[in-house]
């Protein structure tokens, strides 16, 4: 029997500007960037368990599944930087 890694949870330290973009809210209090928007941004990548909030500190957490975790990680970072900026 051989065990293999199938999923890994990552966290990315967000800059102050990136965190501020994620914390923006509409006048009614709803988040400007919702979890649904972030999920659709990362589709069809095998990424789940997205988390960012005042409870998680200044980190964005997510879990990657599958065989090409490094390639998926690079794509997630590229998409997040495209949405939130580089810094």
In our burial notation (b when 16+ CB lie closer than 10 A, e otherwise), range 13-51 reads: ebeeebbeebeeeeeeeebebeeeebeebbeebebeeee
Domains of the chain, each with CATH number or no CATH: 7-84 (3.30.1370)
Q: What is the pLDDT of residue 59?
A: 94
Low-confidence ranges of the chain (pLDDT < 50): none
Q: What is the pLDDT of residue 21?
A: 92
Q: What is the pLDDT of residue 3?
A: 92
Q: What is the pLDDT of residue 74?
A: 97
Q: What is the pLDDT of residue 81?
A: 95
Contact 62, 48 (CB under 8 A): yes
Q: How many residues are present in the chain?
A: 87
Please write the tens of the pLDDT for every residue from 18-36: 999 998 999 999 999 999 9
Q: What is the pLDDT of residue 86?
A: 84
């Amino acid at each position: 029997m051989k065990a293999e890694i199938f999923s890994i949870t990552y966290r990315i330290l967000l800059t102050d500007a990136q965190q501020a973009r994620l914390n923006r809210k509409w006048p009614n209090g709803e988040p400007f960037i919702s979890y649904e928007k972030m999920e659709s941004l990362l589709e069809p990548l095998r990424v789940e368990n997205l988390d960012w909030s005042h409870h998680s500190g200044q980190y964005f957490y997510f879990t990657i599944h599958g065989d090409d975790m490094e390639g998926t990680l690079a794509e997630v970072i590229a998409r997040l930087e495209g949405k939130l900026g580089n810094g």
